[in-house]
C-alpha cells in the first residue's frame, strides 16, 4: 500500500512564497533587459543600470505590485488554513535530523 504524504500549511506557504519570489525575479529581470535594450549605450559602450520610466515603468511597477498583492493574499489565506491542514508535514526528509 502506498502511503500518501500530506502537505502542511507551512509547506504550502513556503511553496507559494518561492513561486511569488520567482515571478517577481523574472519581472525584474525582464525589466532590466528592456531597459538595457531600449537605452543607448554611453561613449565607451557601458550599459547603464536603472529602471524603466514612463508608461513602460508604470506597467512594470503595476505588474510587480500585483504580484506582491497576490503573494500577500496567498500567504494570509494559507495562514488561515493552518488549523485545517495541520502544522506538521509527513514528507520524508522534510525535517533534518538534529
What is the residue-wise DSSP string for 45-63?
-PPP-----HHHHHHHHHH
Block means of pLDDT (10 residues each) for the chain, 98 residues, are: 63 91 96 86 67 92 97 92 68 57
What pTM was computed for the model? 0.73
Look at residue 29 in the predicted model and tell me its pLDDT: 94
Contact 13, 78 (CB under 8 A): yes
Beta carbons within 8 Å of 56's beta carbon, 6+ residues apart: 34, 38
Tell me how far apart the alpha carbons of residues 16 and 12 are, in angstroms, rounded to a whole number. 6
Amino acid at each position: 500500500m502506498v502511503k500518501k504524504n500530506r502537505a502542511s500549511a507551512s509547506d504550502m506557504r513556503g511553496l507559494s512564497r518561492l513561486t511569488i519570489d520567482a515571478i517577481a525575479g523574472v519581472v525584474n529581470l525582464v525589466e532590466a533587459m528592456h531597459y538595457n535594450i531600449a537605452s543607448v549605450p554611453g561613449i565607451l559602450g557601458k550599459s547603464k543600470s536603472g529602471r524603466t520610466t514612463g508608461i513602460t515603468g508604470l506597467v512594470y511597477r503595476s505588474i510587480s505590485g500585483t504580484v506582491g498583492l497576490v503573494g500577500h493574499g496567498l500567504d494570509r489565506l494559507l495562514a488561515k488554513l493552518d488549523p485545517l491542514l495541520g502544522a506538521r508535514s509527513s514528507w520524508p526528509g522534510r525535517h533534518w535530523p538534529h
